[in-house]
Amino acid sequence: MSTEALSPAPLLHVSQLSKAFRGVQALHDYTLTLQPRTLLGVIGPNGAGKTTLFNLLTGVVSPDRGRILFNGQDITGASPDAIVRAGIARTFQNIRLFRRMSVLDNVKVALQSTQPFRLAEAVLRLPRFVAQEQALEERAKALLAMLELEPYAAMPADSLPYGLQRRLEIAMALATNPKLLLLDEPAAGMNPTEANALMHLIARLRDELKLTIILIEHNMRVVMGICERVQVLNYGEIIAEGTPEAIQNDTRVLRAYLGTVHSEPNHARA
């Protein structure tokens, strides 16, 4: 028996994924095999292709080349809706919330988007609709509790501090009940205390919800603190891949980061 037969089936298998925008090669021959419940970090300088990777995985952008197999299903070129239904959810680099709505209602909207809506039942308030409403409310509250956002449930989303808005976005992504969660710079704009709390929260979500997570993040303390594996992108290419320790000592990685505004990987554990 080969050793391959002994390892579990990968949740995600990406091969030779490539995308160019008007001559700019945003991603080139990107390859990944991700086992269930892995926490993978993706780092790289600005414009390296990180968000493009998420846009390709979620069907927002279609690839020029390559294949994406998720949970045994070929999702290459599938619509964003179909990909959400298959079990991939994401957050965005720029926060996307219903700003004037309450925190609880934001999560309810996210939950509702996953359910077939029957207008007649809603208008007539049939018993089944009322029961569904209650289930929705309970599930929304459970998600808020998981993200430690319960005390803010009634507040308008845009009144929350930035760090909590980012958490709310994660709660909304989890509303679709994903197997794979893609987080695009969730610690951006957070102070060190908030970033540290977020780091522990992400690790806890992975364990409690048995999630597989890909984390794009410039905050090296967060990446190196929780990811068991890290990929480094530069100009759309994977230039290094390995454990946080190996990545921090990789000369190509250090060179790629020289001259960028973000903290350097070798300072991560400071």
Ligand X SMILES: Nc1ncnc2c1ncn2[C@@H]1O[C@H](COP(=O)(O)OP(=O)(O)OP(=O)(O)O)[C@@H](O)[C@H]1O
| Residue ranges binding ligand X (CB under 6 A) | 21, 24, 26, 44, 46-52, 93
Q: Are 56 and 5 in contact (CB under 8 A)?
A: no
Q: Which is nearer to Mg ion, 144 or 182 (CB)?
A: 182
Closer CB to ligand X, 19 or 229, in the complex: 19
H runs (alpha helix) in the chain: 3-6, 50-57, 80-86, 103-112, 119-124, 127-146, 162-174, 192-209, 220-226, 244-248, 251-257
Distance CA 33, CA 207 (A): 20
Let me know: does 244 contact 256? Beta carbons within 8 Å.
no
The least CB distance from residue 25 to ligand X, in Å, is 8
Residue nearer to ligand X on the CB measure, 149 or 220: 220
Residue closer to ligand X, measured from CB, 52 or 248? 52
- What residues does 88 pair with on adjacent strands? 180
Give the number of residues in contact with Mg ion, rule: CB under 5 A.
3
What lies within 8 Å, CB to CB, of 190 at 6+ separation is 162, 163, 166, 198, 219
CA distances, 36 to each of 26, 74, 162, 176, 210 (Å) = 27, 17, 30, 18, 8
CB atoms within 10 A of CB 183: 26
Cβ atoms within 10 Å, residue 222: 24
The single residue among 51, 55, 91, 165 that binds Mg ion, judged by CB under 5 A, is: 51
Q: Which residue is nearest to Mg ion (CB)?
A: 51
Region 68-127 residues binding Mg ion, contact defined as CB under 5 A: 93
215 forms bridges with which residues in the sheet?
A: 41, 183
Among ligand X, Mg ion, none, the one that 66 touches (CB under a kind-dependent 5 to 8 A) is none
Partner from ligand X, Mg ion, none binding residue 46, C-beta < 5-8 Å depending on class: ligand X
Instruction: Identify which of residues 16 and 114 has a Cβ nearer to ligand X in the complex.
Output: 16
| Contact partner at residue 26 from Mg ion, ligand X, none, CB < 5 to 8 Å by partner kind | ligand X
Residue 242 binding: pick among Mg ion, ligand X, none (C-beta 5-8 Å cut-off by kind): none
- Is residue 55 at the binding interface for Mg ion, with CB under 5 A as the rule? no
- Residue 156 DSSP class: B
Our CB check for Mg ion shows the closer of 51 and 248 to be 51
Q: Least distance to ligand X from the beta carbon of 209, Å?
A: 25
Q: Which of the choices Mg ion, ligand X, none does residue 187 contact, using the CB cut-off of 5 to 8 A by kind?
A: none
- Least distance from ligand X to the Cβ atom of residue 85, Å: 24
Residues at the interface with Mg ion (CB under 5 A): 50-51, 93
